[in-house]
Amino acid sequence: MLQIRDLKKQFKVDGRVVRILDIPEWTVEKGERVAITGPSGSGKSTLLHLVSGILRADSGEIVVNGQPLHSLAEAKRDAFRASSIGYVLQDFHLIPSLTARQNVEIAMNSRLSRKERKQVVDYWLEQVGLSDRGQHLPSQLSRGQQQRVAIVRALVNQPPLLLADEPTGSLDWETADEISSLLLDLSEAHGHTLIVVTHDLNMADRFPHCLNIQDINQVRREASPEQRVLRVKREEVTI
Ligand SMILES: Nc1ncnc2c1ncn2[C@@H]1O[C@H](COP(=O)(O)OP(=O)(O)OP(=O)(O)O)[C@@H](O)[C@H]1O
């Protein structure tokens, strides 16, 4: 589903070049569910932006579902992302003036008839336990419910690849656990490949594959004290 080779990305900050990513090789198989952890600033979000084609690599190859992203012009990358990649973010990014249903419909494939669109949205709202919330505005929903709507919006076109960047980052522990279950269960049931970036170690521990970005990225950064504590805790859990 995803092949990365010799990927390099750097940014210019105050006239200074900062190397962020240097990944010789990384592969994610179709249907795999992977959690990526790692210190703050180690390039996790940047990696998701590159895989989704939001950002362009300085060099190297990224192939998503057989499509080499590096060879696509920007408009084609945008079209590919819309059809093939679902993206879930920490802060949901729902449109406040639209209902839950409308927030999903706006992301839908426009080739469907009105009736088909309704059926598809009904199906997905039911999948995430929000059948009775379709007419509610985001402000009338809890944060966990808003994230459920955002997950539906990401899945509604059935993209083969689902990316999530800190999807539980702004949720309390219990709601975060529910959202983790939902992402894992839905991706397994529908055969999506799922790549999640997270600091939530409870979430990461539930994934079949868990990877520290520093295991694949040759650019290494010193972890913050907070991250070192988290890593020690994680090692204790593993033992
Ligand atoms: N557009 C940009 N211009 C300049 N620097 C950037 C840009 N985007 C990201 N960076 C820098 O790249 C580094 C990696 O950022 P990134 O957001 O990928 O890290 P992260 O591992 O996701 O961090 P966190 O866990 O804190 O979210 C950071 O030092 C960040 O400041």
- Give the model's pLDDT for residue 108: 87
pLDDT along the chain (239 residues), means of 10: 96 91 96 95 94 94 93 89 91 94 89 88 94 96 94 93 94 92 94 95 94 91 48 48
Cβ atoms of 161 and 64 closer than 8 Å: yes
Ligand 1 pocket test, pick from 16, 21, 45 with the greatest ligand atom count within 8 Å of Cβ, gives 45
Query: For atom 9 of ligand 1, which residue has the closest CA?
Result: 46
- Give the model's pLDDT for residue 156: 92
* Rounded Cα–Cα distance for residues 18 and 32 (Å): 31
Ligand 1 pocket check for 45: Cβ under 6 Å:
yes
Q: Is 175 exposed, middle or buried (0-12, 13-18, 19+ CB in 10 A)?
A: middle
Q: Is 70 exposed, middle or buried (0-12, 13-18, 19+ CB in 10 A)?
A: middle
- Give the model's pLDDT for residue 143: 93
* Rounded Cα–Cα distance for residues 174 and 182 (Å): 13
How far, in Å, from the CA of 55 to the mean position of ligand 1? 12
CA 62 to chain centre: 16
- Its ipTM equals 0.96
- Which strands form 209-212's sheet, in the order they lie side by side? 85-89, 161-165, 193-197, 33-37, 209-212
- Give the model's pLDDT for residue 239: 40
Ligand 1 pocket check for 41: Cβ under 6 Å:
yes
* Rounded Cα–Cα distance for residues 218 and 223 (Å): 14
Q: Which residue has the tokens 């088909």?
A: 116
Q: Is 97 exposed, middle or buried (0-12, 13-18, 19+ CB in 10 A)?
A: exposed
Cβ atoms of 219 and 43 closer than 8 Å: yes
- Give the model's pLDDT for residue 92: 87
Predicted TM-score (pTM) of this structure: 0.88
- Give the model's pLDDT for residue 230: 47
CA 226 to chain centre: 23
Query: For atom 1 of ligand 1, which residue has the closest CA?
Result: 11
- In this structure, the number of other CB atoms found within 10 A of the CB of residue 21 comes to 23
Q: What is the DSSP string of 137-165?
A: -GGGS-HHHHHHHHHHHHHTT--SEEEEE
